[in-house]
């Protein structure tokens, strides 16, 4: 969660950086031939195992739309974002 809070804290600065990404990897432990086409080492652990991955991140083609959504060009989103950030800060471990 620190990455998300850090991203929002840098908003409006030159060191804004990239938006956080989401990576979900599922590794299958079965040696069943059904999973063999999914075998590979291109995962975050460099592990030779069958599995799948989903990666979510904002793409450059939608930079303006992403910025408008995050940086609250709409008044309702400003209140929602403020409430969300307050809630996240309360949960942040010290």
- Cα separation, 5 vs 87, in Å, equals 11
pLDDT at 54: 94
Whole-structure pTM value: 0.56
For range 3-9, the mean pLDDT? 72
pLDDT at 24: 95
Strands (E), 43-94: 49-56
Kindly state the percentage of the chain with pLDDT values over 70. 71
Question: Residues 48-74: pLDDT tens digits?
Answer: 989 999 999 888 888 778 777 776 654
């Amino acid at each position: 969660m620190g990455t998300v809070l850090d991203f929002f804290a840098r908003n409006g600065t030159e060191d804004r950086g990239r938006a956080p990404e989401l990576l979900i990897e599922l590794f299958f432990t079965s040696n069943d031939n059904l999973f063999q086409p999914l075998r590979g080492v291109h995962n975050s652990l460099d592990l030779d195992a069958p599995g799948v991955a989903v990666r979510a991140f904002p793409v450059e083609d939608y930079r303006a739309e992403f910025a408008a959504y995050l940086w609250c060009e709409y008044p309702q989103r400003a209140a929602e974002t403020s409430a969300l950030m307050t809630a996240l800060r309360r949960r942040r471990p010290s």
